[in-house]
Amino acid sequence: MATEHTANAPDDEPAERLNFIEVQVEADLRAGKNGGRLHTRFPPEPNGYLHIGHAKAICVNFGLAEQYAGRCNLRFDDTNPSKEEQEYVDGMREDIAWLGFSWGDREYFASDYFPKLYEWACDLIRAGLAYVDDQSVEEIRAKRGSGHAPGVDSPFRARSAEENLALFAAMRAGEFPDGAKVLRAKIDMAAANMNMRDPVLYRIQRAHHHRTGDEWCIYPLYDFAHGQSDAIEGITHSLCSLEFENHRPLYEWFLDHLDVPYRPRQIEFARLELEYTITSKRKLQQLVSDGFVSGWDDPRMPTLRGLRRRGYTPQSIRTFIDDAGVAKFNGTIPLVKLENALRDELNLSAERRMAVLRPLKVVIEDWPAEQVVERQAINNPEDESAGTRPVHLGRELWIERDDFMEDPPKKYFRLQPGGDVRLRYGCVITCREVVKDASGEVVELRCTHDPETYDGKQPADRKVKGVIHWVSAHDAVRAEVRLYDNLFREPAPLDVPEGESFTSNLNPDSLEVVTDAVVERALAAVEPGQSYQFERLGYFVPDSGDHSPSRPVFNRSVSLRDSWSKQNKS
RNA sequence: UACCCCGUGGUGUAAUUGGCAACACAACUGGUUUUGGUCCAGUCAUUCCAGGUUCGAGUCCUGGCGGGGUAACCA
């Protein structure tokens, strides 16, 4: 009952709600572990372009570093030369920087550590903890056992350290064909955790590596490279996704048995799943190579370059990721959450303009032919400093086809025969006549206007509720507008009947190209990357590839919320 | 099937050492509005189930049920 809140209470902002990783990090920091240091890393494999799922890993790793005055390394996990390419390294750098994170000079490659990893492998052999196995892939798989059955020791498991050392050196020297031999850790073929059943450490693979060229013909596997790379870089918290939980015992086994310079700690969290979206690099690759989309940067793609071209801002993505939270539960985030993050940001920052997507001609009969009235339109009602711009009203103008209905439903308060509507920033007009072509399609509206209704003034005898956007013939510039919708028609695109491909869930209407829109003249000259709200329609951005002043092309980033169409859907 | 992880409103995350289930989004109501946008107010939960410990359990214990991951010479 007592008022414990004074108006200027210094700390009545809600306590920071920590996620489970932050809780552990703070506990470590409090306990004085790692010398009070926090050091994370983002370790992508350069085998594709980064997508919204990676954005979470990026935000978590780099974000944590920012939050606790720590550091975050960028490390390319390039241990499989058959899949990795320089093109992807470049693309990833660009996308991470675009998101607004920097890794300073701490850009590393797992391949930087190949020599050290090789030494460590030899150490393991000398300690009797690794051996060269001559079995084939099939044999190894077959003898690994299953959940119920323990595995069977390899017949080569008992080779001496000397023999193993010699064989491993010969593997490296290229004396055996690909796949002929592997190096395995000697752990426990009966372990309940499959990862501990003598995991493969090195395989022979003659593939050109994007960085080390042909220097190596043997390459370490993920498990043998990752933890040690963390250790080399002094990573304190190695954050990864849930599917590596079962690998943690192995991660720690290497740390236990190798003379590593540091002991990082692995913590797993759930990946981001988004409705109507896939985040499998392989499947995204398929969409690109099978031509379902125009490329990795197609505005419908969940890749960071796709989102960028679509008009998503780095901040909106970071806000979204932040808002989604971090936990171990595997959930799916509603797509509207992403869209709202963009809307919320652009509502505050984007200047407003008028554009008509599907133009319907309006002639104001009682308007003097040559008269042009200049009105000041507010650039951004959320930001007074954005100022105003002139728009010009004339006898002929374009309005949205949707803003006129011959036979409207109840509560439709835009234009209809005999009805009236306000032109945004202009006066009230009344529809006197509907002109149709031979096929019965409405091609023109003949209207009259009330010059006493500027500046929001209502007509004397009635109240006009509807306000519509318009572009006058005087101001109009033709433009192409690309309207994007979800790439998939199902919230869970991967859920398909047996034998069917996820591509059958592709939304055939995910792209609609409008070639004859008209926009305010000023929109022709805008810079790519600059977002605008087209009033009453949504947020749009000039296409970074195709827009030019002589041929304006806009992408719809996201529509405005539309409670009218929502209420009329049922 | 074996092993590992996870179950809190429609959705995603919170809830000091057990102590009034909170925030955001969505949905629904109303209000404001020269954008059917924005903004403002209100409504919306037997914490998967069953036992147990306790003055008191979302939190601890036992057993179920449900979901996810793993069983590559991918990462």
pLDDT tens, A153-175? 999 999 999 999 999 999 999 99
Residue A7: inside a domain, yes or no?
Answer: no
Which of the listed residues A269, A301, A334 is the one where a domain comes to its end?
Answer: A269
Highest mean pLDDT among A336-340, A409-413, A525-529: A336-340
What does the alpha-carbon distance between residue A461 and residue A188 come to, in Å, rounded to a whole number?
Answer: 90
Share of chain A above pLDDT 90, in %: 90
Asked if A428 and A422 count as a contact pair (C-beta separation under 8 A), the reply is yes
A262 and A337, same structural domain? no
Total number of domains constituting chain A: 3
CA atom of A113 to C1′ atom of B39, Å: 56
Which tens digits make up the pLDDT trace of A297-316?
A: 999 999 999 999 999 999 99
Q: CATH no. for residue A396? A: 2.40.240.10
Residue A2: inside a domain, yes or no?
Answer: no
Asked if A46 and A89 count as a contact pair (C-beta separation under 8 A), the reply is yes
Query: Which residue has tokens 């996820």?
Result: A502
- Range A143-147 average pLDDT: 91
A501 and A455, same structural domain? no
ipTM attached to this prediction: 0.94
pLDDT at A42 over 70: yes
Which tens digits make up the pLDDT trace of A490-533?
A: 999 998 887 889 999 999 999 999 999 999 998 998 998 899 99
A361 and A344, same structural domain? no
Residue A561: inside a domain, yes or no?
Answer: yes
What does the alpha-carbon distance between residue A165 and residue A107 come to, in Å, rounded to a whole number?
Answer: 32
What does the alpha-carbon distance between residue A417 and residue A325 come to, in Å, rounded to a whole number?
Answer: 51
What does the alpha-carbon distance between residue A192 and residue A207 come to, in Å, rounded to a whole number?
Answer: 34
Binding site for ATP: residue ranges of A? 45-47, 51-57, 271-272
Which tens digits make up the pLDDT trace of A234-251?
A: 999 999 999 999 999 999
Q: What pLDDT score does A566 carry?
A: 74
Q: What pLDDT score does A5 carry?
A: 31
Binding site for L-glutamine: residue ranges of A? 77, 222
CA atom of A160 to C1′ atom of B38, Å: 75
Query: Residue A513 pairs with which residues in a beta bridge?
Result: A482
The band of A292, judged by pLDDT with boundaries at 50, 70 and 90, is very high
Q: What pLDDT score does A15 carry?
A: 55
Catalytic residues of A: 45, 271, 281
Per-residue flag: A325 CB under 7 A of strand B: yes
Q: CATH no. for residue A152? A: 3.40.50.620
- Range A254-279 average pLDDT: 96
Per-residue flag: A29 CB under 7 A of strand B: no
Which of the listed residues A444, A469, A494 is the one where a domain comes to its end?
Answer: A469
CA atom of A535 to C1′ atom of B37, Å: 8
Residue A377: inside a domain, yes or no?
Answer: yes
A360 and A346, same structural domain? no
A436 and A291, same structural domain? no
Query: Nearest residue to B70, CA vs C1'?
Result: A246
A521 and A419, same structural domain? no
E strand or H helix at A484, and its extent? strand A476-484
Q: What is the domain extent for residue A380? A: 355-469
A262 and A320, same structural domain? no
The band of A4, judged by pLDDT with boundaries at 50, 70 and 90, is very low
What does the alpha-carbon distance between residue A467 and residue A464 come to, in Å, rounded to a whole number?
Answer: 8
A31-40, A94-103, A222-231, range with the lowest pLDDT? A31-40
Q: Which of A222, A177, A173 is nearest to A204 (CA)?
A: A177
pLDDT at A183 over 50: yes
pLDDT at A12 over 70: no
Query: Nearest residue to B35, CA vs C1'?
Result: A536
Per-residue flag: A209 CB under 7 A of strand B: no
CA atom of A6 to C1′ atom of B8, Å: 33
What does the alpha-carbon distance between residue A415 and residue A389 come to, in Å, rounded to a whole number?
Answer: 26
Helical spans, DSSP H, in A405-559: none
A291 and A248, same structural domain? no
Residue A29: inside a domain, yes or no?
Answer: yes
Query: Which residue has tokens 């701490």?
Result: A106
Which of the listed residues A418, A447, A469 is the one where a domain comes to its end?
Answer: A469
A168 and A104, same structural domain? yes
Nucleic strand B contacts from chain A, 55-84, CB < 7 Å:
77, 79-80, 83
Q: What pLDDT score does A355 carry?
A: 98
The band of A569, judged by pLDDT with boundaries at 50, 70 and 90, is low
A100 and A133, same structural domain? yes
Residue A23: inside a domain, yes or no?
Answer: yes
Residue A246 to residues A144, A187, A241, A256, A274: CA-CA distances in angstroms? 16, 15, 11, 17, 25
Asked if A181 and A170 count as a contact pair (C-beta separation under 8 A), the reply is no
CA atom of A352 to C1′ atom of B65, Å: 54
The phi-psi region of residue A499 (left if phi > 0; otherwise alpha if psi is between -120 and 50; otherwise beta) is: left
Asked if A76 and A46 count as a contact pair (C-beta separation under 8 A), the reply is yes
Model pTM score:
0.94
Which tens digits make up the pLDDT trace of A219-232?
A: 999 999 999 999 99
Q: Which residues of A33-70 are buried (b: 16+ CB within 10 A; e: fewer)?
A: bbeeebbbbbbbbbbbbbbbbbbbbbbbbbbbbeebeb
Closest nucleotide to A181: CA versus each C1'? B73
Residue A263: inside a domain, yes or no?
Answer: yes
What does the alpha-carbon distance between residue A280 and residue A298 come to, in Å, rounded to a whole number?
Answer: 16
Contacts of A22 (CB under 8 A, 6+ apart): A64, A67
A371 and A309, same structural domain? no
Residue A274: inside a domain, yes or no?
Answer: no
- Range A110-120 average pLDDT: 98
The DSSP bridge pattern shows strands A359-364 and A442-450 to be parallel
Asked if A278 and A494 count as a contact pair (C-beta separation under 8 A), the reply is yes
A240 and A94, same structural domain? yes
